[in-house]
Amino acid sequence: MFFSEEDKILIKNLRQLKGYTAVRFQREFESKNWTRSGLDYLLAKIDHSGSVDSVSGSGRSRTARAIGNVTVVEEMALSQEDKPRTHRTVRQIARESGIPRSSIHRIIKTDLQLKCLKKSNAQSLTLANKQARMIDTG
């Protein structure tokens, strides 16, 4: 059941000042169509915290995408300035750090705002191939 802010304030004040129960709220405010379970939930929240607002820090905490894990993934995912081409693949990072591969992918995409690209093998060019390509494009 959805309660408006005015409803929440009214319920809070009547609960704290007069000790109304869920059944009494339903009887006195029949036109509101409040459900019993919704009132029970709201009254329990009022009794526990004294407020109808959400408690800060409620909800599932971030575990895989914690700040420490983001920095570890960032160091492994990006090449170092003095050592080019030292970045690792998503699978290598997952294996070395112990963080699930899907979480690594999410950290790279969401937190670091990078794109995960699969390494592809390229043909190795000999010196003769390089010279032939230079002549063709020249």
The model's pLDDT over 17-30, given as tens digits with 9 standing for 90+, comes to 999 999 999 999 98
Structure confidence by residue, pLDDT tens digits, 83-136: 777 788 899 999 999 999 999 999 999 999 998 887 788 888 899 988 888 876
Do residue 43 and residue 13 come from a single domain? yes
Q: What span, in angstroms and rounded, lies between the C-alpha atoms of 51 and 3?
A: 14
Do residue 73 and residue 106 come from a single domain? yes
Per the domain annotation, does 61 fall within a domain? no
Per the domain annotation, does 20 fall within a domain? yes
**Rounded to 5°, angle at Cα 44 from 39 and 49:** 130
DSSP state of 126: P
Per the domain annotation, does 126 fall within a domain? no
The neighbouring-strand residues paired with 80 are 83
The domain tally of the chain equals 2
Per the domain annotation, does 37 fall within a domain? yes
Full-model pTM: 0.48
Per the domain annotation, does 134 fall within a domain? no
Q: What span, in angstroms and rounded, lies between the C-alpha atoms of 56 and 133?
A: 63
Q: What span, in angstroms and rounded, lies between the C-alpha atoms of 75 and 92?
A: 13
Full residue range of the structural domain in which residue 27 is found: 5-49
Per the domain annotation, does 55 fall within a domain? no
Per the domain annotation, does 19 fall within a domain? yes
